[in-house]
Amino acid sequence: MNTKNILRLIEDGNIKKILIIRLSSLGDVLLTTPLIRSLKKQFPELIIHFVIKKNYINTLVNNPYLDRIFIYEKDKLAELKSNLAANKYDLIIDLQNNLRSFRLTSKLKTKKTFFNKQTISKFLLVKFKINKLKEAPPIPERYSESIPGFKLDNDGLDLFTKEQPPTEIIGRNNLIGFCPGSRHFTKMWLKEYYIELGNILTEAGHQIVLFGGRSDMEICSELREKIPNSISLCNDDDILQTAADMKLCRLVVCNDSGLMHTACAVKTPVITFFGSTVREFGFAPYKNKNLILENKSLSCRPCSHIGRSSCPKDHFKCMLELKPGIVYKHIVDLLDS
């Protein structure tokens, strides 16, 4: 469909109810929040609904700019489709843009607009190192381009913890958060490096707090044992609790992961490692104090746009050459800036 007039239709009040679809994952959903907020603030009468997988609903559950959230569950798709049809949306913004989201809305007779995933450009960059993404904006701004001409506000990501109290770290000073986990090996800074950096920071008077979800229990437990006085707040994927605790940290050291975006959403500065991925894909920390550490000397980067289970060159220099001593100096500089 021709999407050029969508913004005008919203401005004129001809689009009154919008459905946004982004089913997963943690970081991708958090990156939708500038669009949600900006739409609602610029057009307060606009009704905005959202469809998301159950695993990630807490990223949006307290969001004051949403009027309703629907949960996507495979075994309840017929019920979900019926509910969506009954709402008679004026516009569907499909930020997932895959077969699942297409099937979900294919029978809804309404205007639709889609997130441009830049699939070919990502393929060219990964496979042939042809970089057509040098000028590509960050993902939140690319999400907003699904409404041509619409501009986001100047704020960052949102994650509303509401009245969620912090855990036992409340009242402690000089807290540095570590998020050592990731779904993909090539997006993880070395476990041994986290341990070494943790010991350096501890000797300098900081206390390390370890964050992660269900899949990060093992690595967080090992780091807790090897970093003196460290505290593991790794939990069963309770993102609201993790976010509430992250607020108390002076800085979070993390991989290119959903927890990086979580720290940004609660306005905690981040130092993050980009190994197999690069910032051109659009997933850099958004409008938050940050520093990205990456090995720019390697011609093999990026080797993936999402991460891999092993280094295809068997040297893993993208992470191995980011030494803990160098990272510590950057932390000191960022804390002092």
Same domain, 180 and 316: yes
What's the sign of the alpha-carbon dihedral 260, 261, 262, 267?
A: positive
Does 162 map to a domain? no
Compute the distance between CA of residue 297 and CA of residue 276 in angstroms, rounded to an integer: 13
- Percent share of the chain, pLDDT over 70: 99
Same domain, 80 and 33: yes
Does 99 map to a domain? yes
In this prediction, residue 171 carries a pLDDT of 85
The pLDDT confidence band at residue 1, using thresholds 50, 70 and 90, is: low
Same domain, 49 and 113: yes
Same domain, 81 and 181: no
Residue linked to tokens 């205007």: 111
Amino acid 80 reads L
pLDDT surpasses 70 at 154: yes
Distance of CA 89 to the CA centre of its chain: 27
Compute the distance between CA of residue 246 and CA of residue 30 in angstroms, rounded to an integer: 15
Same domain, 23 and 112: yes
pLDDT surpasses 80 at 111: yes
| Token digits of residue 229 | 């006085």
Order across the sheet with 91-94: list the strands: 68-72, 47-53, 17-21, 91-94, 111-114
Same domain, 62 and 200: no
Tally of residues, the chain? 337
Question: Which of the listed residues 123, 144, 165 is the one where a domain comes to its end?
Answer: 144
Same domain, 63 and 186: no
Does 77 map to a domain? yes
Same domain, 117 and 182: no
Burial class (CB within 10 angstroms; exposed 0-12, middle 13-18, buried 19+) of 233: buried
State how far the alpha carbon of 268 is from the alpha carbons of 105, 159, 308, in Å: 37, 12, 28
**Range of 200's domain?**
175-336
In this prediction, residue 264 carries a pLDDT of 98
Does 328 map to a domain? yes
In this prediction, residue 164 carries a pLDDT of 78
Compute the distance between CA of residue 124 and CA of residue 133 in angstroms, rounded to an integer: 10
* C-alpha distance across the termini of the chain, in Å: 48
Say if residue 232 is preceded by a cis peptide, omega within 30 of 0.
Answer: no
Residue linked to tokens 């958004």: 286
Same domain, 227 and 318: yes
Does 150 map to a domain? no
pLDDT digit string (tens) for 10-69? Answer: 999 999 999 999 999 999 999 999 999 999 999 999 999 999 999 999 999 999 999 999
Same domain, 126 and 228: no
Compute the distance between CA of residue 58 and CA of residue 263 in angstroms, rounded to an integer: 15
- Picking from 257, 252, 244, 75, the residue whose alpha carbon sits closest to that of residue 184 is 257
Compute the distance between CA of residue 214 and CA of residue 187 in angstroms, rounded to an integer: 18
Question: Which of the listed residues 121, 144, 167 is the one where a domain comes to its end?
Answer: 144
Angle, CA 27 vertex, CA 175 and CA 265 arms, to 5° = 45
Pick left, alpha or beta for residue 132 (phi over 0 → left; psi -120 to 50 → alpha; otherwise beta): alpha
Does 149 map to a domain? no
Spatial CB neighbours of 324, under 8 Å, sequence gap ≥ 6: 193, 196, 197, 200
pLDDT digit string (tens) for 207-260? Answer: 999 999 999 999 999 999 999 999 999 999 999 999 999 999 999 999 999 999
In this prediction, residue 243 carries a pLDDT of 96
Question: Which of the listed residues 101, 125, 144 is the one where a domain comes to its end?
Answer: 144
Same domain, 181 and 108: no
CATH code of the domain covering residue 244 = 3.40.50.2000
Compute the distance between CA of residue 261 and CA of residue 40 in angstroms, rounded to an integer: 22
- Domain count for the chain, please give it: 2
Say if residue 228 is preceded by a cis peptide, omega within 30 of 0.
Answer: no
- Average pLDDT over the chain, rounded to whole? 96
Same domain, 192 and 332: yes
Compute the distance between CA of residue 143 and CA of residue 31 in angstroms, rounded to an integer: 8
